[in-house]
Every structure is written in structure tokens, then in C-alpha cells.
Structure 1
Amino acid sequence: MTITQDKFYELWLNNIPGIGGATCKLLISHLGSAEEVFKAKKNTLHKINGIGVHTLQVIDKYRSQLVKIENEVKKIEASNVKILTYTDKEFPVRLKLQKDAPYLLYLKGQAKSLHSKKTVAIVGSRGANQYGKLVTEKIISDLSQFKDLCIVSGLAYGIDIYAHRAALQNQLGTVGIMANGLSKVYPAIHKKTAQEMIEDPKSGLITENLMDAEPDGPKFPARNRIIAGLADVIIVVQAKKKGGALITADIGNSYHKDVFAVPGLINDPLAEGCNNLIKYQKAHLYSEIKDVITKMNWDLTSSAPTRQTKLFDTQNLSDEEKTVVSLLQKSEFHIEEIAIQSETPLPKIAGTLLQLELKGMVKMKPGNMYSLKQ
């Protein structure tokens, strides 16, 4: 694909060390685009609440390092990788609900199933045994009765790769979230499965890391937050007392996702993590697929319920108010996303939302989330 000028500057901003997704969204919501952030003077940036001296310094420093982004663009285009940013329609809507979600994702493959009505993350120990493999395959076989469903995992050894392979075998879309760049597959032994995922229209690979990034320690918990953010439900199949699967489960709980764990023998180290999740009420016990179907209220006989949108009289609204109402008819959004989607500075959007609240059309929810009154 060809990287546009907008994407170029979004890549620049997103890859400044110390500036995460939340800061990217904050800056762009105030100034309108990453290019405007690049052009902005220090005193303009410093007026934005939450932008401190350190952030100003790193932005100023990295204005002179565009060559690095130019080289990155060459690698992206040569590898047929797609860049998804927070404002793109193709950016996973589930991630938009998480405050700490990345601003930008690298995608290889089409991964159409990311927009499925149901998304299940299946995670577990890298040292999973044959029992873990069989349980994973059984779970996914049972889930295959839902055609509009995506399996998400981390492409790692053990439960992760079993989940991806079982999803492909059952004609379900599956997306691997990587802790490294897309220039190579890690671990390399999973390259064949990764290629099958890339070639399957419903599946693919995703990362937030630069193309040549190596899979060092801090990238794995960061990867796990994306897995948890994409999931409607998380199932932990096998897990030791400590490990990445438990981090994913903890993050999932903090996101108010439903977490399930497969119980095991009390003297089995591979079951200790799952048993503790259940013991300390951090996960529901998983014994059969009915446990998930019942908890998630999934209906086998019909498609997901359509959202009832209240009709409002927009005749007397300003153009800005009409834009916000039209956006909120699709879903609830954080105030920063409303500013980004409507291409309106944050202070002006705050005033528009206040007017809509006073007119009884919009309500503010915890965490600066906004929705239409039903």
C-alpha cells in the first residue's frame, strides 16, 4: 500500500519514544492532525492540558528524525503492510473503548473477522501439554457454530498456536497479536501458520511495533493488552502460577471483560494459574461451551440484536451538534475520539456536548464517555 502524508506524520508521532496512544489522541484531538502537531510551536503544545516539558522535548527532538520514518515507510510498502490509525473505519472498534489502546496498528492480511459480532481470546501456557491442545481444539470446534466469530491470540508456543491452527481448521477467522515487528515471525517455527493466516481473508497479523522491532520483555504485556482489548470474552486454558496468560486475564478484568478459566488437577503446575483465577473469583469456571454462551447471552438462532436508535429532531441543531449526534448514533465514544472523528478541536467539542446535554439529547458516562439518551 502507499502511505499517505497523513499516515506518514501519524507514524512519526506514534513512534516517538515515551508518547503512547493516549498522548497521540490528546494531541491530535486538540490540533486536528499529526502533521499539525509536527508543525506546532512549543508554546502552542504547552497550552494543552497534560502535555509536560518532557513531552515537548521529545517532540522537538524527533522533528529532525524523519529519515527514520521514511525508511519505515519503505519497509511497510515493500511488505504489503497496512497502517490502521484510531480514526480509520477499519480500526477495531473494541479497541477504541480502551483508554490505553494504541493509536496506530500495523496489519498484515485482511483480518476481516476483527469486525465480527463475537471475538474470543484464547490464551495459555507456552509449555501446554497434549491435554491443553485437545481442550483448545474442543473449545474452538464448539465455537465454530457461530460463523461471525473471531479467535484472537498471541502466536506464541503452546495454547496460542493451537488456537490459531484450530481456528483455521474450523474456518473461523483468527488474528495473531505480535510483540515484535512484522518483518519477521516470532517464533520462527510458526511462520507457516502465520502465512496461512495472512492468506486467509478473515485472518491476519497485528502489531503496534516498528517493522524491525525485536520481541523484548516489555512488549509482551503491551501485546497482551491488545489481545484483552479486542476480546469480548477471554478463555485461559492452561497457565502456571505466573505468566503472560494471567497478565491478559488481569487486564481483561480491568477492562470489564468476561474471563473464563479451564480448571485442572490441584497438583498440576499447568493448572495452578487457572485454578487460582477461579479460586480468587477472577474468572468463571469453564467446563463446556454452554458456560460461555449462557454468560454472554449468545443466541444461536438469530443474529445479534440490532441497536435501537432513538430518533431526534435535529432541525434546530447547529451543524456541529448534528455531526456529534450522527456519530453517537453509531456507538458511545470518548470525548477525545469525538473530537478526532469530527475533526473539531477538543475545547469546541466540549462546548457542543454540553449544549446537547442541556437539550437532553446526550449523557456523559464515567471516564468522559458520551452516548445518546435512550
Structure 2
Amino acid sequence: MYPSDLQFILALQHVPNLGDATAKKLIRHAGSPEAVFKEKIATLLKIDGIGNSKISELHDPEHLRAAEKELEFINSTGIKPLYFLDKDYPERLKHCFDGPLLLFQKGNIDLKNKKVISIVGTRKATNHGIAFCEELVAELSPLNPVIISGFAYGIDICAQKAAVNHKLQTIGCLAHGLNQIYPRVHSKYVKSVEENGGFYTDFWSTDAFDRNNFLKRNRIIAGLSEATIVIESAEKGGSLVTADIANSYNREVFAVPGRPLDSQSKGCNMLIKSQQAHVLTGAADIIYMLNWQLEEKMKPVQKQLFVELEEEEKKLYGFLKENGKEQLDLIALNCSIPTFKAATLLLNMELKGVVRPLPGKLFEVV
């Protein structure tokens, strides 16, 4: 993308009712963002799916004036704009028909050749949901995934804080421009997130704050990731919208089951019951369904004949060798090691090639 193109791209974003999918269609037809504005309306209306309601205001000069002002803001704040045809534009998002025409980035983000998952959930997270989220991120940390979320209250910020604590890259997808932070109380986490990843948004600094922005933002959360994980959700909520979008993109969706009468488990239980999500009981489920463990084994590294294990790893290995495949909780109980720690040890052992995870939080010796 040339700097001169950016104003025209921004101007297309500014046209009301146009939408990302239509804007991309116009650019592909005309050849460039600038060419779209030079094309006659009558010619554009001949494109399949382009109606007058979408492009009637295309030639209003206000769009270019507004774009010029937003361009000044971008240049003065160090924001990195990512055009959907740029090589740095997130690869998975390129495959989403309604992915942002232009994405704004801040921080130190690197998604190339990375395992990427989204973790979302209710803003009214329970202690159980928070504990599960923290343990899940800890269990996955040896595989160095990127954690995507919405930087909101509850499960979102829990996932991102856990990622920072484990030195994992994390990205907050915002429902507003990069000139503000919502909720304001989360401003204290901005620096650590930017140091360990950063933020994405497709909203301008001049966009009014609106609750509907969150629904639009959710397509970015779902589109960036290999899989979307829902940890606690009521019967209705943004997390279910994100899960629905992820399914529409043919991405994997996982949900944590809960007791039927728990209000913050009803959404997850519904996703599982309607077969819109896999049951998630621990990191092993994700690793198995996404074939992450296969990826580790495909690395062109000669298998070690003698693997060095720590004392506690030897204890876990001995138990599994004697008893065969077993659930994480029972492994931890029989080896007198806390479940949280046993999960991390088993993942380290998996990377050493001595154990493998199985569905249902099971492990066995390789």
C-alpha cells in the first residue's frame, strides 16, 4: 500500500452503508481505491450485488475530507494501518469475506506461523470461570499460542492478563478507535499488552462509542483465530455471537460445560447441545482437535533416544507407564502433585515426546 492510497481507502471506509465486503468488490472491479472514486456510478451499478443504496453517497467530497483528518491522526500516533491486500494483513482474516477493509494496529504483533486462539466469555465471570481460564492459559503456555480477546470485563481481560503472566503474545480487539480505552479501568493493562502483543481495531478516532460496535468487533476476534473458546456465557451475549461468526468462517469452536442451572453456563451448554461447539475440559482437547501435537512431532528434529526428565516428570511418567492412559485429575491425585502443576509438567513432557494428550483430558505414554 502506497501512502497516497491510504486516504482513498479511508474514504471508502467512511461511506455509509457501503460495508467491507462491498468495498472490496468495488476495489477489485476498479483496480484500486482511488479508481473507485473516479468510476461512474452507472458503471458501478452494473456490478453484481451493488445497489444504489450502497453507493449513492460515494462521490460526496466529505469522505475524502474526513479521511484526510483521520490520516493526520494515524500519522501522529504511530498507528500501523493494514490494508486487506497488504502482506502484513493477518492471513486468517484475509479469508473472511467481511474482514476489515483496513485494520489499525498498535503494539508489537506477530502472527506469522503462530498458533492463534480466541478466548471470550461473560463479563460477569464466576470464580470458577476465572480459575478455569487461568489454568487453561497456563496449560497451553508451553506451546506458545497467541491469545486473542476483546479486552473487556470478565473472561476477556482474565485471558489477556494470564497471557501476559506467561509471557505469551496477546491481542486485544477493540470496539472503538485507538484514541481511547474502554473500559477505562483497563488502561493500566495497556502497556503490558502492547509489550506482549498489541491491539487491533477497524474503528476511527472519530467514531461514536456505541454498543453495536462490540458485535462488529467480534468478527475480528473470530476471524483472527484457529479456534474460538467460550468460557462461561449466559443464554444471550456477545460471546455467543463470536462463536456463531467463528462457525460461519468454518473455524473450530470450544465451550466449557457447566451445571444446567448456572446462569453463566447456559450459553456454553447450548452451544454444546446444538453441536455448535466441542466440549472443552482442558488444554488437551484443544491440542488434539487442532492437531498441535502433530505439528510438534513433524519438526525435522532427530528423536532423542534418552530424554532427561525432572523428578516430578519421572513420577508422572512412571504412573502412566504402569497404569496406561489416565485422566489429568487422577494422574495428579495419584502422584500427589497439584492438578495445575501436573498439567504444565505433562505438556512439557509432550514436547519432549514421551507422552501424548487424548480427548477428555487423558494422557498416555508414547
Which TM-score band (shorter chain)? Answer: 0.7 to 0.9
Determine if the alignment matches structure 1 residue 121 to structure 2 residue 118.
yes
1:232 to 1:78, Cα distance in 2 relative to 1, 3 A: same
Determine if the alignment matches structure 1 residue 33 to structure 2 residue 27.
no
Corresponding residue for residue 169 of structure 1: 165
CA contact (8 A) 1:117 1:304 kept: no
Q: What is the deviation of 1:288?
A: 1.5
Q: Which amino acid aligns with 1:117?
A: K
Aligned alpha-carbon RMSD (Å):
1.9
CA contact (8 A) 1:176 1:206 kept: yes
Runs of 4+ in 1 over 6 A off after TM superposition: 303-306
TM-score calculated relative to the size of structure 1: 0.76
1:304 to 1:188, Cα distance in 2 relative to 1, 3 A: farther
1:53 to 1:196, Cα distance in 2 relative to 1, 3 A: same
Determine if the alignment matches structure 1 residue 261 to structure 2 residue 260.
no
Q: Deviation string for 1:32-51 (max 9, x for gaps)? A: 11111122222332333322
Corresponding residue for residue 219 of structure 2: 225
Q: Deviation string for 1:204-253 (max 9, x for gaps)? A: 11111112323312211111111111111111111111111111111111
Identity of aligned residues (%): 41
Determine if the alignment matches structure 1 residue 144 to structure 2 residue 138.
no
Tell me: higher relative CO, structure 1 or 2? Use CA pairs within 8 A at least 6 residues apart: 1
CA contact (8 A) 1:176 1:205 kept: yes
Determine if the alignment matches structure 1 residue 282 to structure 2 residue 280.
no
Rg comparison, structure with higher value: 2
Q: Deviation string for 1:258-300 (max 9, x for gaps)? A: 1111111222111111111112221111111111111111127
Corresponding residue for residue 9 of structure 1: 8
Corresponding residue for residue 105 of structure 1: 103
Q: Which amino acid aligns with 1:21?
A: D
Q: Which amino acid aligns with 2:157?
A: I
TM-score calculated relative to the size of structure 2: 0.78
Matched position secondary structure for 1:59: coil
Corresponding residue for residue 69 of structure 2: 71
CA contact (8 A) 1:6 1:34 kept: yes
Q: Deviation string for 1:329-365 (max 9, x for gaps)? A: xxxxxxxxxxxxxxxxxxxxxxxxxxxxxxxxxxxxx
Pick one of 79, 82, 90 that aligns with 2:80: 82
Please list every run of 5 or more consecutive structure 1 residues that lacks an aligned counterpart in the other structure: 307-374
Pick one of 165, 169, 183 that aligns with 1:187: 183
Matched position secondary structure for 1:83: strand
1:301 to 1:227, Cα distance in 2 relative to 1, 3 A: closer
Determine if the alignment matches structure 1 residue 57 to structure 2 residue 95.
no
1:64 to 1:225, Cα distance in 2 relative to 1, 3 A: closer
Pick one of 237, 245, 250 that aligns with 1:251: 245
Q: What is the deviation of 1:66?
A: 2.2
Q: What is the deviation of 1:303?
A: 7.1
Corresponding residue for residue 348 of structure 2: none
Pick one of 272, 275, 290 that aligns with 2:266: 272
Q: What is the deviation of 1:191?
A: 0.9
Determine if the alignment matches structure 1 residue 156 to structure 2 residue 152.
yes
Corresponding residue for residue 93 of structure 1: 91
Please list every run of 5 or more consecutive structure 2 residues that lacks an aligned counterpart in the other structure: 301-366
Partner Cα distance (2:71, 2:194) in 1: 20
Q: Which amino acid aligns with 1:90?
A: D
Q: What is the deviation of 1:302?
A: 2.6
